[in-house]
């Protein structure tokens, strides 16, 4: 038998089919990833998902440039379907993808602070998940006036042009934007292994900050660029340190709150502005969920009343609740307050870079300098060409008749230009220009007017060359353009700031006016809450087999419940956290309801409203602890208190008393004492052992009961006036009483 040789461990392989050969070969999986996945990943990063320094992704650029070439900057609107069809010449994606891009850029969608598309028809809403936009055949669009600032120098070689996907035309690689649009409008992109999330800023503030940084690179941007400005408005909970971090690194979180007002007559909270990261449907779903879970009881109804006038969410408030307190609770529990997580990842020369506001504005300024130089250089060459032609025309002015005679006497057309070149000492372009002059223009007046332009052209050329040679003058041109854009398109801030807002403050839940309820607690850990009316109409209490009720009382529905467990912990709850049921129902199993640990069971329940009572605990070692119930009151909404009582000795009995009470204690040796709790000093420490009340020798405390609940004559014979005391031997009547 041949011995099997163990397989050598090595790199994982994948199968690859060689086309035409009919064979499959094993290839290294790393090689497969490098050859197949990496090009795709790079394409997504560089050519699809991340914005560039002009603030646009390729899909945005292709759509807007198509609209520009269609003449939609100054003309009337056209059907969106027409725009989508034309864009396919640059964008090889389907019509739905192109139209979705157009929807987000449209004014009707309200996603951008400064929309680039002027729309007509239903374009949906950015703040609504379910409000769908109409089909492209129903809507119309054109370019918004601010789009003129994207294309101002595009026909003057300000940016590079590249062939489209089938080499039938060209498109710009970037837009020569005259303002930092990368910061003015929000942008989100999800690439492979990286993402970009840029918030929007106020146009006037961005332009002012860009100007200030050009003049002084050490300028503090926070003094002019106050913070993000979202299209949906709302409030920013201002954190200067976090804002500075975002401006320096491009990473951080902006906390945004919804804006609301309160209608006193209708008792209705009206939300009109929400954070940009959520939708009205998400807010409603969360509020409904919280109401069902019993975490919000103040709201009776929630409605989406959004109409043509704008967003409007209505929350009907129950009587007796304060709207501001309720909104603080909603801010904490729902997306009415949400974080915008900034990740300013921008493509610079084809490389993704996470940059802060300072670096982005610096990169944009450098990009704009190149655009301005290229534009001026383009104009300079045009003017030089024109000046050169006019200088040739000026020489013709010396003898127009000779020029006419020269042309008339030339027998062949091809010899006209060479003869003019020889006759007047001009070059070929000048001679071509002269030869193409119309017959009606061969007069002294026309030629004099043309040659008068030479002085102005010479001055313009000198000025342009001076600007090109002076970085300061280039910056002056950029500053002038920024101020011009701000003057034309600036608008007031939509998002305001909230300063000195206390964060992570636990909000005490408001309580409406209480009403009577009957509560029952059983030995097995079941809890019932029944209204007096229901109790009167009910029959026998339903209990688990061999279970019994150990506590029952009529209390207020606002009462708090303290459940002490066999693991020395206390779980806090409220009557309002439990449903009102009938006597025929077994009730809620408290360990499951409150999420107690495995094997943990409640052994005692205390009911209170104001925590003014006293908790008295008796232990097997004969000690008694007297603890103010206020020790279990917390300012926060803590549901679980550890070390609720001492674990040094087994607990025999717990009681909640008001004032002072007499208790009768009995030991396993058959001795009994009665004492008043005034002899025990109260201690605020929850896990205190208290003081020795009954002196025990080879015995333990067996039972304890309130003296007023013990039906025995002359209990005074057991009273002690000092503690500890050994007690007296019980007689027959006390032996018959079960003290628990």
Q: What is the mean pLDDT of each run of 10 residues along the chain (740 residues)?
A: 47 56 74 82 83 94 96 93 95 90 95 96 94 95 96 93 93 96 94 92 97 96 95 94 96 96 92 95 94 86 92 89 91 95 94 95 96 95 91 81 85 87 88 84 77 86 94 95 96 93 57 78 93 84 89 89 94 86 89 90 92 94 94 82 92 92 90 91 92 91 88 84 87 58
The number of C-alpha atoms within 13 Å of 512 and in the hemisphere containing its C-beta is: 15
CATH number of 259-335: 3.30.1360.40
CA distance 327 to 461: 65
Locus of tokens 């709150």: 257
Residue 9: its pLDDT value, please? Answer: 47
Residues annotated catalytic, as ranges: 138
Cα–Cα distance for residue pair 303/609, rounded to 1 Å: 34
pLDDT at 716: 86
pLDDT digits (tens, 9 = 90+) for 559-591: 899 999 999 999 999 887 888 888 888 899 999
Strand partners, 79: 140
Residue with tokens 């042309």: 407
Among the residues of 264-356, which ranges form H helices? Answer: 280-292, 323-333
Neighbours of 247 (CB within 10 A): 23
Give the per-residue pLDDT at 451.
76
Among 570, 554, 560, smallest CA distance to 603 is for: 570
pLDDT of residue 508: 54
Q: What is the DSSP letter of 675?
A: E
Supply the pLDDT for residue 736. 57
**Domain 371-489 part of CATH 2.60.40.10:** no
Beta bridge partners of 28: 13
User: Percentage helix, strand, coil, to 5, in the chain?
Assistant: 35, 25, 40
Q: From CA 529, how far away is CA 554, in angstroms rounded?
A: 10
All structural domains of the chain with their residue ranges = 56-176, 259-335, 371-489, 513-608, 610-740
Residue 122, pLDDT score? 95
Contact residues for 191 (Cβ-Cβ < 8 A; gap 6+)? 41, 44, 45, 48, 49, 50, 352
pLDDT of 740:
43
pLDDT value of position 727: 86
3-state class (DSSP) for residue 596: coil
Tell me how far apart the terminal alpha carbons of the chain are, to the nearest angstrom: 82
Residue 599: left (phi > 0), alpha (psi -120 to 50), or beta? left
Q: Which CATH class is domain 610-740?
A: mainly beta
Domain 56-176 bears CATH identifier 3.40.50.620: no
Degrees, nearest 5: CA angle 183-186-187: 105
pTM of the model: 0.69
Check: CB of residue 374 under 8 Å from CB of residue 367: no
Nearest to 54 by CA among 195, 154, 127: 154
- HSE-CB at 312 with a 13 A cutoff on CA atoms is 13
Query: CA quadruple 314, 319, 323, 325: dihedral positive or negative?
Result: negative
The angle, 0 to 180 degrees and rounded to 10, between the axes of the packed helices 80-87 and 58-69 is: 110
Tell me the pLDDT tens digit for each residue of 591-613: 998 989 898 999 999 999 889 99
Report d(CA 674, CA 665) in Å as an integer: 6
């Amino acid at each position: 038998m041949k011995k099997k040789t163990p397989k050598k461990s090595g790199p994982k392989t994948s199968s690859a089919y060689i086309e035409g050969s009919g064979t499959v070969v094993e290839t290294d999986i790393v090689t497969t990833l490098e050859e197949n996945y990496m090009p795709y990943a790079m394409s997504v990063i560089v050519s699809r998902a991340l914005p560039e320094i002009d603030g646009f992704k390729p899909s945005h650029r292709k759509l807007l440039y198509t609209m520009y070439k269609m003449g939609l900057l100054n003309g009337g609107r056209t059907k969106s379907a027409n725009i989508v069809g034309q864009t396919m010449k640059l964008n090889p994606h389907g019509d739905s993808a192109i139209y979705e891009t157009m929807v987000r850029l449209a004014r009707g969608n309200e996603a951008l602070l400064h929309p680039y598309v002027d729309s007509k028809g239903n374009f949906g809403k950015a703040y609504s998940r379910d409000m769908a936009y109409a089909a492209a055949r129903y809507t119309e669009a054109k370019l918004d006036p601010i789009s003129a600032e994207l294309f101002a120098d595009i026909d003057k070689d300000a940016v590079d042009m590249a062939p489209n996907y089938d080499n039938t035309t060209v498109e710009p690689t970037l837009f020569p934007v005259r303002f930092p649009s990368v910061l003015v409008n929000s942008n989100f992109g999800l690439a492979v292994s990286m993402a970009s999330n840029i918030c929007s800023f106020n146009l006037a503030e961005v332009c002012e900050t860009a100007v200030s940084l050009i003049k002084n690179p050490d300028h503090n941007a926070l003094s002019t660029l106050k913070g993000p400005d979202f299209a949906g408005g709302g409030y920013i909970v201002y954190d200067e340190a976090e804002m500075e971090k975002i401006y320096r690194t491009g990473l951080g979180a902006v906390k945004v709150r919804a804006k609301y007002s309160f209608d006193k007559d209708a008792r209705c909270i009206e939300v009109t502005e929400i954070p940009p990261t959520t939708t009205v449907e998400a807010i409603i779903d969360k509020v409904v969920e919280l109401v069902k879970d019993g975490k919000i009881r103040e709201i009776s109804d929630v409605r989406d009343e959004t109409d043509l006038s704008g967003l409007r969410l209505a929350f009907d408030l129950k009587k007796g609740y304060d709207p501001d307190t309720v909104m603080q609770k909603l801010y904490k529990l729902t997306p009415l307050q949400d974080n915008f997580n900034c990740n300013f990842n921008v493509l610079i020369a084809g490389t993704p870079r996470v940059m802060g506001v300072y670096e982005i504005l610096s990169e944009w300024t450098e990009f704009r300098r190149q655009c301005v130089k290229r534009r001026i250089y383009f104009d300079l060459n045009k003017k030089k060409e024109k000046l050169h032609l006019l200088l040739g025309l000026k020489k013709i002015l010396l003898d127009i008749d000779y020029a006419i005679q020269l042309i008339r006497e030339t027998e062949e057309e091809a010899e006209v230009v060479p003869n003019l070149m020889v006759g007047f000492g001009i070059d070929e372009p000048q001679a071509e220009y002269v030869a193409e002059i119309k017959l009606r223009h061969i007069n002294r007046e026309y030629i004099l007017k043309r040659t008068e332009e030479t002085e102005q052209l010479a001055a313009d050329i000198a000025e342009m060359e001076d600007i090109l040679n002076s970085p300061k003058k280039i910056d002056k041109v950029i500053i002038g353009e920024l101020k011009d854009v701000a003057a034309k398109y600036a608008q007031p801030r939509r998002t305001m700031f909230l300063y000195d807002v206390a964060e992570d403050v636990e909000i005490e839940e408001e309580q409406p006016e209480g009403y009577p309820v009957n509560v029952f607690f059983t030995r097995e850990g079941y809890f019932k809450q029944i209204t007096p009316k229901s109790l009167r109409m009910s029959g026998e209490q339903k209990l688990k087999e061999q279970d019994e009720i150990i506590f029952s009382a009529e209390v207020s529905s606002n009462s708090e419940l303290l459940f002490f467990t066999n693991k020395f912990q206390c779980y806090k709850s409220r009557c309002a956290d439990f449903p009102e049921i009938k006597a025929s129902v077994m009730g809620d199993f408290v360990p499951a309801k409150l999420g107690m640990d495995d094997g943990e069971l409640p052994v005692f329940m205390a009911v209170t409203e104001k925590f003014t009572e006293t908790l008295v605990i008796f232990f097997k070692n004969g000690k008694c602890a007297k603890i103010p119930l206020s020790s279990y009151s917390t300012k926060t909404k803590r549901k679980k208190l550890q070390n609720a009582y001492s674990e040094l000795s087994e607990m025999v009995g717990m009681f909640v008393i008001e004032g002072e009470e007499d208790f009768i204690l009995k030991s396993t040796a058959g001795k009994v004492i009665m004492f008043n709790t005034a002899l025990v000093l109260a201690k605020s420490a929850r896990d205190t052992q208290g003081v020795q009340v009954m002196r025990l020798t080879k015995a333990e405390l067996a039972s304890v009961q309130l003296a007023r609940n013990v039906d025995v004559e002359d209990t005074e014979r057991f009273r002690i006036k000092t503690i500890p005391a050994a007690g007296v031997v019980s007689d027959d009547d006390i032996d018959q009483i079960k003290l628990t």
